[in-house]
Amino acid sequence: MRDDSIIQTEYSEVMEQSYIDYAMSVIIARALPDVRDGLKPVQRRVLYDMRELGIKYDAPYRKSARIVGDTMGKYHPHGDSSIYEALVVMAQDFKKGMVLVDGHGNFGSIEGDGAAAMRYTEARLCKITQQAFLEDLDKDVVDFIPNFDETEKEPAVLPVKIPNILVNGAEGIAVGMATSIPPHNLGEVIDAAKAYMRDENISTRKLMKYIQGPDFPTGGIVCNADELEEIYETGSGKLRLRGKVEIEKGKGGHTNVVITEIPYTMIGSGIGKFLQDVASLAETKKTNDIVDITNQSSKDGIRIVIELKKDADVENFVNLLYKKTKLEDTFGVNMLAVADGRPETMGLKQILAHVTTFQYELSRRKYTTLLAKEKERREIQEGLIKATSVIDLIIEILRGSKDRAMAKKCLTEGDTTGIMFKSRESKIMAQQLLFTERQANAILEMRLYKLIGLEIEALLKEHDETMANIYRYEDILSSHESMTTVIMEELDRYKKEFSRPRRSSIEQLEQTVYVEKPQEEIELYFLMDKFGYARCIDTATFERNKDAALAENKYICMCKNTGRICVFTDIGQLHTIKVSDLPFGKFRDKGIPIDNVSQYDASKEQVLCVTSKSELNLYRLIFVSGMANMKIVDGGEFDVNKKTVAATKLADGDSLVSVAVLKEFKDVILQSQSGFFLKFEVSEIPEKKKGAVGVRGMKLEKDDMIESVYYTIGTDPAPITYKDKNFDSDRLRLAKRDGKGTKIRI
C-alpha cells in the first residue's frame, strides 16, 4: 500500500462525526415525525406502499405480512418488527385520535394484549387516509426521492390535507431528545387551522377558543385547564389526567365505584397494574372499604367495578384511588417535530404555521399541474374544433399523402410537397394550415365518429368547461384569498365527513385531597423464630397458644398495629420494621423473613434483641460488646422512623455480644471465652449516649473476648450454661465492675 493512500486523522474527530451522523439519522429518518404530515418515515412508507399495492378502503383486505414485506423490500430496510408495529399502531383506535389503517383480525387490545402475528392479520387503507393523505400524489404536489438502494422512488412527505400531527399526536425517542404530542379532536383542529389562515397574528389564547385541549381516544379528564395556554405557547409541560368515575348502587345496599374511562397513560399493562394497586390497598390495610374488584371491560368500552362496604366514605375512597393509583396520572408534553429539516420544539401556533404553509404549497403545486393539463387540453380541443370546420380539406390531405409524416408536416407547416390535391384551391388552403404539434397528432388520431353533429357539440361543451377550469385555476394561483377559500372548503368537507364528538373533557380541578382514616390501635404479639421468619397475632390467639409460642419462637414482644418493631444486631445496627408490613393472621402461619421488610442482612449480621418501639420509650437498654465495653442508653434515643440507624459506636474490630431491655435486672454476669466470670451490680454501669463507646466492664486477658452475658432478677439466680454444663449464678461472688473475674473450671 502506498503511503499517500493512508489518511491520518484524529480518532476523537472521527468518533464525533460518526456519532453525529448516527444521531441525526435516528432523529430525522426514524424517531421524529415531520410537522407537515405528522408521520414518521416508517408510517409514511407503510401508507405509501399500501397505496402502490392498491389496498384501497373499498378493496379487499390484504395480509399484513404482504404489506410489511413489500415495505421492507422497497422502502424501509430496518426489520419487519418495526414496520408491523407501526402498521398495528395506526390501526388501534385506542392509541390514535384517528385511525389511518383499517385492521382486520387481532390488532391488540387496550388492556395490553399484543397483536397477532402479521401472517394472521389483514389490513387496508381507511377512507380518510386515501382521500386526505394519498389522493394528490399523481399531481406533482410533493417531491419524490430515491429509496435506500435507488431502485424506487418514494415521497419525501405525504400530501396530507389536515393537521395530522395534532390530530393523531406522536411519541418517539430519538438520541438526546424525545417527542410526546397528545392527540386532538379533528373538528377542533380544522377550526383552529382555518382561524389561523384568516389571521396569522392570532394569539394562542384565541386559538384555544377552537381547540379546547387534547382529546384522548380513551376519554378521561384533563384536570389542569389553566395550564394549557402555557403548554400550547411553549410546546412543553405536563397534563394532569384522570379517569372518569361513576357511582352506582350495588346489591344489598353496597355502593359500586365504576371506572368507565381511563387516563391515556394507562393504555396497555397499566390496567392490570391498576387492578393490582387497588388490591394492594386492601391487603396493606390502606382501606378497609373494598368488598370486591371486577374488570367487566369489553369491546364496548372500559368498565372496572369496585364494590364498597355499606358505610364506606365514597368520596374519600375515590380520592384515595386518585392519590395512590394511576387513575390520576401525568402526561408529559413535548411537541418536538422535524421542521425545515431539523428537530424543533413548537407551540400550537408554530405548528399551525408550518401546517398551513404546507397546505398552500400543496395547493400551489396541485393547481399549477392542473392548469398545465387544462391548457394542454384546450390546445387539443381548439385544434379539433378548427379541424371540423375544414374537415374536407384535411381528408383530402390525408388521402393525398404517402405517409403520416408527410400529412403531419402539411398540417403543422403548410408544406404540400408530394401531396396530391384535387384542385389548386385546396393546395393553397392547405399551405395556410398551421396547427401545433399536439393538435396535429390529435387530428391524425381522430376517429370518424367524432364528425357526428352531437360529438361536435360535446366537443364545444367540453371546451367551455376547460376554459372555465383554466379561469378558475388561474384565479386560485393568482389570488391568496381564492386559494385560502379552496383549502378551507376542503377542510370543511373532511370535518363534515370524518369528525366525531370530543371524548376527553377539559376541567380545572384542584389537587386530590385524601384524608386517611385514623387506624384503630390494637395490641398484638410479634413472633419471630430462629430462622428469622416473623408474623403478628392478636393477644387472644397468643394466650391460647402461649406455651407453643414460647417454645417455637426465639423472640416475642408485645406491639401495636400502628407501631414499629426494633431489631438490634451484633454490628451495632438498629433496623425498624412497620408492624403493618408484617403478616397478621393465624398462629400456625409461617410469616415472612424480616429481610423482606427491612434492610437487615442475615449473611452479615446477627439479631441480638427484638423489642417494640413503644417499649423502648419506657425503658433503657444495656449494651455489651466483645471487648467488654458496656453502657446503658435511654430507649428514647432510638425514637426514629428511619429503616436503619447506628445503635451504638464500636471500636475497630469490636462487635456487640448482648443488647437487653433493662427492666428489673439486679446483677450482670460477664463470661469470657477462656472461662472467666465476673458478677457485679447493674447499677455500676453508667448511662451514656448511643454514640458513646461505653466503659470497660471486665479486664480481659490477651486475645480473650466476652462470649455471653447473663442477668439476675431480684433474688432469683440466673441459670448459666458453660461447656454444656449448667450451674446457677449463686456460685459466683459479687464483685466490682472492671475486675478480672473468677475462672470457672468444669
Could you tell me if 651 and 713 are in contact, meaning their C-beta atoms sit under 8 angstroms apart?
no
Question: At the top level of CATH, which class does the domain 244-326 belong to?
Answer: alpha beta
Angle of CA points 702, 705, 706, to nearest 5°: 145
Could you tell me if 561 and 524 are in contact, meaning their C-beta atoms sit under 8 angstroms apart?
yes
- Lookup result for grid cell 404553509: 357
| Confidence (pLDDT) at 580 | 84
E strand residue ranges, 319-427: 328-334, 336-339, 342-345
| Confidence (pLDDT) at 23 | 57
d(CA 710, CA 638): 24
pLDDT tens sequence across 624-662: 999 999 999 999 888 888 889 999 999 988 999 999 998
Could you tell me if 666 and 712 are in contact, meaning their C-beta atoms sit under 8 angstroms apart?
yes
682 or 391: whose pLDDT is higher? 682
Q: Residue 1: pLDDT above 60?
A: no
Q: Give me 560's grid cell.
A: 401495636
| Confidence (pLDDT) at 191 | 96
Q: Residue 2: pLDDT above 60?
A: no
In 3D space, the residue among 739, 729, 730, 657 whose CA is nearest the CA of residue 698 turns out to be 739
Residue ranges of the chain assigned to CATH 3.30.1360.40: 244-326
Q: Residue 390: pLDDT above 90?
A: no
pLDDT band, residue 21 (cuts 50/70/90): low
| Confidence (pLDDT) at 130 | 95
Angle of CA points 356, 361, 367, to nearest 5°: 125
d(CA 641, CA 624): 24
d(CA 212, CA 504): 10
Taking residues 292-316, what's their average pLDDT?
Answer: 89
SS3 of 323-335: HHCCCEEEEEEEC
Q: Residue 20: pLDDT above 70?
A: no
pLDDT tens sequence across 585-601: 888 888 899 998 899 99
CA atoms within 13 A on the CB side of 744: 24
In 3D space, the residue among 672, 668, 694, 695 whose CA is nearest the CA of residue 683 turns out to be 668
Could you tell me if 338 and 28 are in contact, meaning their C-beta atoms sit under 8 angstroms apart?
yes
Task: Please say whether the dihedral angle defined by the alpha carbons of residues 528, 534, 538 and 540, taken in this order, is positive or negative.
Answer: negative
Report which secondary-structure segment, H or E, holds 186: helix 186-198
pLDDT tens sequence across 460-472: 898 999 999 999 9
Q: Residue 707: pLDDT above 70?
A: yes
519 or 253: whose pLDDT is higher? 253
Residue ranges of the chain assigned to CATH 1.10.268.10: 361-498
pLDDT tens sequence across 88-147: 999 999 999 899 999 999 999 988 888 999 999 999 999 999 999 999 999 999 999 999
d(CA 208, CA 232): 9
Angle of CA points 295, 301, 305, to nearest 5°: 30
Q: Residue 441: pLDDT above 60?
A: yes
Q: Residue 239: pLDDT above 70?
A: yes
d(CA 307, CA 289): 8
pLDDT band, residue 453 (cuts 50/70/90): low
Q: Residue 519: pLDDT above 80?
A: no
Taking residues 18-47, what's their average pLDDT?
Answer: 79
Strand 221-222 versus strand 505-506 pairing type: parallel
Chosen CATH of 523-743 out of 1.10.150.530, 2.120.10.90, 2.40.110.10, 3.40.50.300 = 2.120.10.90
Taking residues 53-82, what's their average pLDDT?
Answer: 93
Report which secondary-structure segment, H or E, holds 742: strand 742-743
What is the topology classification, in CATH, of domain 361-498? Topoisomerase; domain 3 (1.10.268)
d(CA 249, CA 229): 39
Report which secondary-structure segment, H or E, holds 593: strand 592-593
d(CA 17, CA 83): 29
pLDDT tens sequence across 563-584: 899 999 999 999 999 998 888 8
- Sheet containing 290-295: which strands, arranged edge to edge? 244-249, 255-261, 304-308, 290-295
pLDDT band, residue 450 (cuts 50/70/90): low
In 3D space, the residue among 446, 592, 452, 612 whose CA is nearest the CA of residue 529 turns out to be 592
Could you tell me if 677 and 651 are in contact, meaning their C-beta atoms sit under 8 angstroms apart?
no
| Confidence (pLDDT) at 386 | 84
Crossing angle of helices 480-498/348-389, nearest 10°? 110
pLDDT tens sequence across 714-740: 877 888 888 888 888 888 889 999 999
Residues designated catalytic = 120
In 3D space, the residue among 614, 611, 626 whose CA is nearest the CA of residue 661 turns out to be 611
The helix/strand/coil state of 121 is coil
Distance of CA 711 to the CA centre of its chain: 61
Could you tell me if 169 and 184 are in contact, meaning their C-beta atoms sit under 8 angstroms apart?
yes
- 184 Cβ partners below 8 Å, 6+ apart? 97, 166, 167, 169, 211, 213, 214, 215
Lowest mean pLDDT segment, chosen from 62-66, 238-242, 483-487, 722-726 = 722-726
Give the mean pLDDT of the chain. 89
CA atoms within 13 A on the CB side of 504: 32
pLDDT band, residue 22 (cuts 50/70/90): low
Q: Residue 409: pLDDT above 60?
A: yes
The helix/strand/coil state of 2 is coil
Q: Residue 689: pLDDT above 80?
A: yes
Q: Residue 398: pLDDT above 90?
A: no
pLDDT above 70: percentage of residues in the chain: 96
